[in-house]
Amino acid sequence: MSLDGYSPCPGGRGKKIRFCCPDLVKELGQLDSMIENNQLEAASSLVETLQKTHPDCACLLGSLCAIRRSQGKMEEYLDVATRFFEKEPDNITARTQYICAKADNGMVRDVFDLLIDTIEKEEAGKLSGMTFGALFTVTIAFMAEGDFFLAIPLIKLLRSMQPDSVELNQMFFRCVTNRECPILLKDVHFKMAVPADFPETEKFKEAMQLAATGHWKQSRALFQELLPLADQYAGILYNLALLSFWLLDDETGFELLDRYAKDTTVEPEDAMEAILLKNYLSGTPWQDEVTDLALVRTVTNFDECLEHLLSNPRCIPIPTDQFRNRPDGSPPPLKAFMILSRNPLAGGEEVTWENVPMMSWTMFLYGKQTDREARAEIYDVREGEEDAVNEFLADVCKGLIASEGESTPIRSESWTRNAIVPRMYLGKQNSLTNDQMATLENDWVLKSFCPNWLNHKLGTLNNRTPLEALAAGDAQLELCAAVTGLEDLYGVAKPIARACDELRRQLNLPVPGPITLDAKAIAEKGISAVLGSIPMLRWKRISLDGLDSKSLSVILETALLFSLTDTILHAATILVDRPSDDMRVEIRTSVFDTLVRACAEAGDLAKAEELIAKACAEAELRNLSDGHWNLLDLQMKLITGNMQEAQALMQHVMTAHQSEQGVMAELTQLMMDLGLLNPDGTPRAVPGAAAAAPVAPPAAEKPSAGLWTPDAPQADNAAPSKLWTPGS
């Protein structure tokens, strides 16, 4: 870009260069060219030279900010941007560079108020490039923090100005598909159904319009003027609460949500969801955090101690390979053990929830080093379990491990979140069918988790147990919110869904009923508008059977986007029996993918192969490639150990679909997942060797009941393996 004296000042002063820096026109042109051609070191040197004679030049400060950021020198960028902003706080370039520098340096909350002020200085819905860029940077920073509750409305604001931006659409997709984020935080909307006789309808609409364009402070001011009318429409309280949270005023937000939930005009389910939202924003739906500790104990005789551990059936050796080559260069443990709650079951012994051992702690043994004695490090120790650990060490290691030592807090986590995942250990001798495993998990959740949870103190119940709150009779909505949070986060697992039903029964809570969509409203407004009026947290209760394929397709698409697992499976189960011509190819593919995945996870491989065959037949009728389905069929054959047919099918895919780039990419990824190829595509094994089941790509799934076996070590909070499918 060529600069001359009549070009706008790049320093943000709103003048032409000839009226701002008339003696730097040539140099600024050179500087602009250097930056454009990525000659950053030369540009930096030129700025530093020019600043000796022009120390307060906004053009030079703005350019230096851009250079430091492009160089990745974030601390220096922050230093320059801070000096620039302190000199010229009303300069748009100085303001936006300062906002970006703070956000890039992990201090986004420090400048969020300044960002909103900057947005509100501009015309609603039309931001300058610099302000848009600052908003984009702040949004990225909130996403990096995992604050999707704030990132999503900011992305919606950005998309309202650039609806066709691929990058913004991808950002939105990453947020709403995140399985760690509760549905309630991904699907937040203002309350807009003001009564027909509401006296300040126009002011309400103006407040809503300001909120939609990012003028959140101005919108909040108008809603505060409407507060005296909250007795006529409690939605004012809810809307004001959302704006308060978005403006980082959590204290006011919590107070307003409390008022909304207690308002007698608010529907009970709306009130319960407001309480649940408050709980999510406070930390967890239960506020029952406990601390996990790491204990360090000195070992007086390493070899003898190791002999005792190896001979004790409660101590299961685990590999130490993953702990080698540590970044800090420290020696890895010589041995590692998983410590069980009781002895493993004997081969053939009946497995019940009462006798199956649980994984209690993890122990690492280190030999003597130059600067420290031999030691044992014990992890996954819940605060309060230290005495149990010491008792175990004294019993098994015969005093060879000290009973006292360092105790370091590692992390705080929800007691409920930890307790809902049974860390069962079956061992190699006890294999269960899918039905037996389902029964075991179901019994454990209903007979162990539920009674323990009902008698566990929850912060959201004022540090009372659910049974104590039930007896007091003053916390029905809070109890509903606690169970709904459990269902929202983990209810996709059938045993946990049954546990929620059982908890509602024992706590005398209402059971949410089915939701029937209004056919007339769908005809008049469209299915999307009707769905938009129903919180996604309730979608699993929508009756879908009477809907046409077009409406079901819309529901399936939205449910897939927001990872609404129950709704996805329900819609796909209905659509698979509908004529394929009633839906787009992409929808039909999603239907089969969903059902094949569900059948494979349930262990019904015969049904999965039946669905794949049907998908292949439909592809042939519609003159479409069946490569995708061949790959799914290949996985089924590998899972069942049918290696001869698997090899033949793999050869068929490589021959018949070699010109289909997408299919070959999926095949390559599958072979990497199976360990047959290295990441660079070179072979690792010969087809026909013993093959494992496909390994699922890592995903942030909601934890569900699972068990550990010696052949499949996994992290404490790992989700069970899932069938890999192309594109998953």
pLDDT at 326: 62
Higher pLDDT, 590 or 492: 590
d(CA 597, CA 604): 10
**Per-residue confidence (pLDDT) for residue 4, from 0 to 100:** 55
pLDDT band, very low/low/confident/very high, at 80 (cuts 50, 70, 90): very high
Query: In this structure, are strands 335-340 and 359-366 parallel, antiparallel, or unpaired?
Result: antiparallel
Gap between the Cα atoms of 140 and 168, Å rounded: 10
Of residues 692 and 602, the one with the higher pLDDT is: 602
504-518, 592-606, 704-718: least confident range: 704-718
Q: Is the pLDDT reported for residue 404 higher than 80?
A: yes
pLDDT, tens digit (0-9, with 9 covering 90-100), for 282-331: 988 999 999 999 999 999 999 999 999 999 999 999 988 766 666 666 78
List pLDDT tens digits, range 180-239.
889 999 999 999 999 999 999 999 999 999 999 999 999 999 999 999 999 999 999 999
String of b and e for 17-36 (b: at least 16 CB within 10 Å)?
beebbeebbebbbbbbebbe
The residue that leads in pLDDT, 445 or 13, is 445
**Tokens found for residue 56:** 């307060």
Q: How do residues 107-162 score in pLDDT, each as one tens digit?
A: 999 999 999 999 999 988 789 999 999 999 999 999 999 999 999 999 999 999 99
Local structure of 318: helix, strand or coil: strand
Alpha-carbon span 54 to 32, nearest angstrom: 17
**Helices (DSSP H) in 473-604: which residue ranges?**
476-490, 494-506, 519-525, 527-532, 549-561, 565-575, 585-601
At 324 the pLDDT is 65
537, 481 Cβ separation under 8 angstroms: no
Residues facing 407 on adjacent strands: 295
Q: How many CA atoms lie within 13 A of 80 on its CB side?
A: 26
The answer to whether the beta carbons of residues 409 and 293 sit under 8 Å apart is: yes
User: In this prediction, what percent of the chain has a pLDDT beyond 70?
Assistant: 90
The pLDDT value recorded for residue 725 is 30
* Residues in the chain, total: 728
Give the 3-state secondary structure of residue 515.
strand
- Is the pLDDT at 715 greater than 60, yes or no? no
Q: Cα–Cα distances in Å, from 517 out to 192, 545, 559, 702? A: 20, 11, 16, 29
CB 450 within 8 A of CB 422: no
Q: Say how far apart CA 421 and CA 415 lie, in whole Å.
A: 11
Average pLDDT over the chain reads: 87
What is the four-CA torsion angle of 382, 386, 391, 393, rounded to 10 degrees? Answer: 90
CA angle (429 as vertex; 425, 430 as ends), nearest 5: 60
Q: What is the radius of gyration, based on Cα positions, of the chain?
A: 30
pLDDT of 18 > 70? The answer is no
HSE, side-chain direction, 13 A CA sphere, residue 608: 25
The amino acid that residue 633 corresponds to is: D
- List all residues 6 or more positions away from 636 whose beta carbon is below 8 Å from its beta carbon: 600, 605, 608, 609, 612
Helices 58-71 and 40-51: crossing angle in degrees, nearest 10, is: 150
Contacts 24+ apart (CB under 8 A), 149-153: 149/181, 149/185, 149/188, 149/245, 149/280, 149/281, 150/245, 150/246, 151/175, 152/176, 152/186, 152/188, 153/188, 153/246
Higher pLDDT, 692 or 361: 361
> CA-CA distance, 95 to 120, in Å (whole number)?
13
- Residues 491, 498: Cα–Cα separation, whole Å: 8
Question: What pLDDT is attached to residue 265?
Answer: 95
**pLDDT value at residue 723:** 31
Quick one: what percent of the chain has pLDDT higher than 90? 60
Mean pLDDT of 11-16: 71
End-to-end CA distance of the chain: 43
